[in-house]
Structure 1
């Protein structure tokens, strides 16, 4: 039986590359974000996760829903992750927080280095000509 995990992610593109983060102790990168807390709204979760992981503040008035994807969550038993992806502008300087081992700008060629649920996001962005 599939387990439903609701998560949010911030899709940030620059120069045809997408910002990725890798947690300490993990091999794969993921689109920054994370799971919603019980009763937490998607926007609130997105703002919290981005601030916790990347030390920047998303500007809520600029946040736009990009798409919702389903796929296998890295490091979890077989099941389903529902990933609501958003774009938005930010204030501050991007930096990896203490829970993040590294951040990187990823291209389509780096798709294999990302969590399985992120593959569809990479594919959609590439098909739209937004990811090199």
Structure 2
């Protein structure tokens, strides 16, 4: 009897910050792709615990836990030849501090919907949903 291959599922949590019709994205050190800031859960962390830790590590700001609002959860195939998928639970939240890339992040950028092709498939689903809900305009300044 042959065992079914296991499918990899990467469980992540992300912070959605939209300002002036653009969404915050980050490029991790050593990578050439931008992502919505956030990361993988460690152990039995909740979404909130994961998000607060990851954003502090990546962008040196503190999210206000009591302001977290679930935007949506998205799942898409892994980019490239890998098999499996990424699940990304997305939240908005207020923050304190100055947005600065940390030692884990090479660059932060503000993307419009027109930059959708520059992010991985799961992030593209978020962009599409935000557009459909009127949270991210098709063109900045509109």
Q: Shorter chain as normaliser: what TM range?
A: over 0.9
TM-score (norm 1): 0.95
Larger Rg: 2
- What residue ranges of structure 2 are gaps of 5+ in the alignment? 1-5, 138-142
CA RMSD, aligned part only? 1.3
- Compute the TM-score of the two structures, normalised by the length of structure 2: 0.88
Cα distance in 1 for partners of 2:55, 2:79 equals: 19
Q: What is aligned with 2:29? A: 24
Does 1:84 pair with 2:56?
A: no
State the match for 1:11 in structure 2: 16
Deviation at 1:39, TM superposition (A): 1.1
Can you give the 5+ residue segments of structure 1 that lack an aligned partner in the other structure? none
1:24 shift after superposition: 1.4
Indicate the residue corresponding to 1:38 in structure 2. Answer: 43
| DSSP-derived class of the 1:8 partner | strand
Tell me, in whole angstroms, the C-alpha distance in 2 between the residues paired with 1:22 and 1:8: 16
Output the CA distance in 1 between the equivalents of 2:118 and 2:134. Answer: 20
> What is the CA–CA distance in structure 2 between the aligned matches of 1:16 and 1:97, rounded to whole Å?
24
Q: d(CA) in 1 for partners of 2:117 and 2:69? A: 26
Once residues 81 and 13 of structure 2 are traced to their aligned partners in structure 1, the CA distance between those partners, rounded to angstroms, is: 16
Of 53, 57, 60, 2:62 maps to 57
The one of 116, 119, 125 equivalent to 2:121 is: 116
Q: Deviations over 1:96-118 (max 9, x none)?
A: 00110100000011111112210
Counterpart-to-counterpart distance in 1, 2:80 and 2:12: 14
